[in-house]
Structure 1
Amino acid sequence: MTLGQGRTIAFYAPMKSPRHPVPSGDREMARNLMGLLSGSGAMVTLASELRIYDKSGDAERQAILRAKAAHEIDRICTEIVTAPKAERPDLWLTYHNYYKAPDLIGPTVARRLSIPYVQVESTRAKKRLSGPWSEFAQAAHDAADAASVIFYLTQQDHQTLLRDRYCDQHLVHLSPFLLDHRLPEPSDRSGPMLCVGMMREGDKLASYRILADALAQVAQPWRLNIVGDGPARPEVEQVMSRFGNKVRFLGELDRDALGILYRKASIFVWPGVNEAFGMVYLEAQSHGVPVLAQDRPGLRDIVTNWDLSALTPPPDSGPEGYAQALTQVLDDPVLCDRQASRVRNRIANRHLAPAAAQRLWSTLSPLLEIPS
């Protein structure tokens, strides 16, 4: 694809660089965006690897990060103005700006260079404008205000972006996407159920606990492969220990090894506590693996609905609701066959690279005065 041929894009992800060593959905989406832009013909440069992230609302850390960002701005601007004209960016694109990880660099650099500034996945949180993250929350709001365009990935984000939109700012829906141009080989669904998730305290561990408590209530025969690793692995192994060899821990796997599992998986199980969207859901569905997740705002944009609403249990139904849904799915292979076809069709139509590139460049081209 040559939609961006001849253009240079400066890319930045304040929360987690696409080169960060720890895997996550955030890193995967950042990599996908860079890949989509470069695959469309643009030259994409990673403008900075400075991580601007304050997990706990620490004023001292925020001050240090602000100082580092100021130095980084000067470094970037100096490098750009002394670079050959062909290597200077035509546009700055920031991925994931929010109150814990505001973009403290992009708006200033874009203003100094007089180039368009664009964001993908930006959130506004008014309630954070007071409290320990107040300054970072304001910085995230200011960065969002500076963007000519914000691409939102979920309807939940769209609601707050629309509510607090700056002037006539352009808000554009970009569906979360896989970098593939075509669907992979479908699963024959002859193998165990599959779960893919990092193992860390908080929401991820909460999902594992819900899953374990639900599995304890499922009477039908089942087996489960778990892919993932992290500091909370001992806790995950403990909550799953009651099931013995019905659960197999495979650790962290690369894309090819995970693809082998997807091509055998019968059902993808992951409750998705507070998931923004979750790339693993897209990967599973691209292989025709039905997904069983709770009914949560971010997931509604990417998880294909079942024929029966009871198969998307609300969070307040807890492990019991999840167990009831899983029991029903395991009891009805015809339902699973139908869902397997539906999920692949949805991914093909909405969540692959060609559709994402067209949506992205149809908005970026006018900013760069590229004929569509």
Structure 2
Amino acid sequence: MRVAFTAPMKPLDDPVPSGDRTMGRLIVQALEAAGHEVTVATRFRSWRATGGAEVQQEVEQAAHVEAERVLSSWEVSGYRPDLFLTYHLYHKAPDWIGPAIASRLGIPYVVVEASRAPKRKTGEWAYGFAAADAALARADLVAAMHRADRECLAAVVPAERLAVLAPFLDASRFLQASRIPRREGEPIRLLAIGMMREGAKLASYRLLADALDRLPDSSRFALTVAGDGPCRAEVEALFARHPVTFTGAVTGEDIPGLCASHDIFVWPAIREAFGLVFLEAQAAGLAIVGGDTFGVPDIVAHGRTGLLSSEGNAAAFAENLATLVSDPARAADMGLAARDHIRERHTLASGASSLDALLEQALRNFALRATASPQ
């Protein structure tokens, strides 16, 4: 199938790394692995940091101009997709291009990873919220990335057009990474990976530091923090009382080896959709201590591959951390279970199979809607 692709939240070639960019690239990779031909229709970015009808209307106008440009270029080249797929839309990043092109060409329209916050129906984001809802109404299939988003989308997307796509990763490098065993008498090795910036990331670092402060004095651990950003000095100050090593930013190629030399991945996941790094850490054989935010419980098996606590609860996070720090054997068992968990549910092959099934469902839905529409 010829699939036209766009990512209004963040283009695939955006220079700033993020889980969103990585997941977008993985979706393209999985579609190609399933035998589909993917063309990036446009790298137009509708995301804006600030709202307001005037700002959103300007973005909408630019999006329609871009849609016409894309259609003109395809007419010249003779290209015609079988389906248009948009990755990640919400009130700050609506999609005007996909619905316009799909309607003009008479092809199915699919959205993968959509979120909906009803409180944004009014206020500065109302225009973008309405635009995102219009795209959802046009979609022949909408795939949420976790059950929490699915529940919010169910208010506007009929059940037959709504699905959940389990997050996945190209796990081979992580699954093949050789574990570096902890030496006898060595403190248990903790790892945290995250950008050091204002907002949810900094809030996660603050909660992690708070949880470490609450551990019993007898706890023996060594923490490695991988990441960089404008708040690095503040993050370093948070952990000044603890045995910690800061690596700075790490590349994707370095992460499997980094994970393989640790025992437990620790991250509170404040306001995170699901956290791709949780998949990476589990694939490398780490137990998880994390927050149960949004989609995290969908990818971390509480009690089997890790321990989750309610979002923002430093005391509960510290209790779970103390449980595994004091019991390295249990942490090791969870790490082994984590690798099996990824193999069973979250590999690139799993993603390719799921996406292929979703596209087939979209084609069926499109045909049914076309049949039901008045002539």
TM over 0.5: yes
The answer on 1:108 being equivalent to 2:100 is yes
Q: Are the counterparts in 2 of residues 295 and 314 from structure 1 also a CA contact under 8 Å?
A: yes
The answer on 1:71 being equivalent to 2:65 is yes
CA drift at 1:226: 1.1
Give 1:15's aligned residue. 9
CA drift at 1:237: 1.8
Of the three residues 37, 46, 50, the one matched with 1:52 is 46
**Counterparts of 1:366 and 1:122 in 2: how far apart (Å)?**
17
Q: Which moved more, 1:179-188 or 1:273-282?
A: 179-188
Give 2:328's aligned residue. 333
SS of structure 2 residue aligned to 1:312: strand
Distance 1:71 1:308, change over 3 A: closer
CA drift at 1:224: 1.3
CA drift at 1:184: 2.8
CA drift at 1:333: 1.9
Q: Following superposition of structure 1 onto structure 2, how do residues 1-372 of structure 1 map, counting pairs within 5 Å?
A: 7-84=1-78, 87-166=79-158, 169-180=160-171, 183-185=175-177, 187-190=179-182, 192-218=189-215, 219=217, 220-243=219-242, 246-306=243-303, 311-315=307-311, 318-365=313-360, 367=362
**Counterparts of 1:31 and 1:367 in 2: how far apart (Å)?**
21
Opposite residue 120 of structure 2, the aligned amino acid is R
What is the CA deviation profile of residues 42-63 of structure 1, one whole-angstrom value per residue up to 9, with x for unaligned ones?
2211111111112232444323
Q: Are the counterparts in 2 of residues 93 and 120 from structure 1 also a CA contact under 8 Å?
A: yes
CA drift at 1:214: 1.3
Opposite residue 313 of structure 1, the aligned amino acid is S
Opposite residue 53 of structure 1, the aligned amino acid is W
Q: Which moved more, 1:107-116 or 1:228-237?
A: 228-237
Distance 1:360 1:127, change over 3 A: same
Q: Are the counterparts in 1 of residues 263 and 335 from structure 2 also a CA contact under 8 Å?
A: no
SS of structure 2 residue aligned to 1:265: coil
CA drift at 1:187: 2.9
Q: Are the counterparts in 1 of residues 141 and 362 from structure 2 also a CA contact under 8 Å?
A: no
CA drift at 1:64: 2.3
Q: Which moved more, 1:321-330 or 1:54-63?
A: 54-63
Opposite residue 11 of structure 2, the aligned amino acid is S
**Counterparts of 1:94 and 1:273 in 2: how far apart (Å)?**
26
Q: Are the counterparts in 2 of residues 211 and 319 from structure 1 also a CA contact under 8 Å?
A: yes
Q: Which moved more, 1:147-156 or 1:186-195?
A: 186-195
**Counterparts of 1:367 and 1:288 in 2: how far apart (Å)?**
36
Opposite residue 77 of structure 2, the aligned amino acid is A
Q: Are the counterparts in 2 of residues 97 and 144 from structure 1 also a CA contact under 8 Å?
A: no
Opposite residue 190 of structure 2, the aligned amino acid is M
Q: Are the counterparts in 2 of residues 225 and 249 from structure 1 also a CA contact under 8 Å?
A: yes
Opposite residue 133 of structure 2, the aligned amino acid is H
What is the CA deviation profile of residues 295-316 of structure 1, one whole-angstrom value per residue up to 9, with x for unaligned ones?
223211111212599x422235
SS of structure 1 residue aligned to 2:154: helix
- Tell me the percent identity: 38
Gaps of 5+ in 1: 1-6
Opposite residue 82 of structure 1, the aligned amino acid is V
Opposite residue 141 of structure 1, the aligned amino acid is D
**Counterparts of 2:36 and 2:316 in 1: how far apart (Å)?**
47
CA drift at 1:119: 0.6
Give 1:3's aligned residue. none
**Counterparts of 1:230 and 1:82 in 2: how far apart (Å)?**
44
**Counterparts of 1:192 and 1:132 in 2: how far apart (Å)?**
45
**Counterparts of 1:222 and 1:104 in 2: how far apart (Å)?**
50
Gaps of 5+ in 2: 183-187, 365-375
Opposite residue 162 of structure 2, the aligned amino acid is L
**Counterparts of 2:160 and 2:7 in 1: how far apart (Å)?**
21
- Aligned-residue CA RMSD (Å): 2.0
Q: Are the counterparts in 2 of residues 224 and 248 from structure 1 also a CA contact under 8 Å?
A: yes
Opposite residue 56 of structure 1, the aligned amino acid is T
CA drift at 1:163: 2.3
Q: Are the counterparts in 1 of residues 286 and 335 from structure 2 also a CA contact under 8 Å?
A: yes
SS of structure 2 residue aligned to 1:172: strand
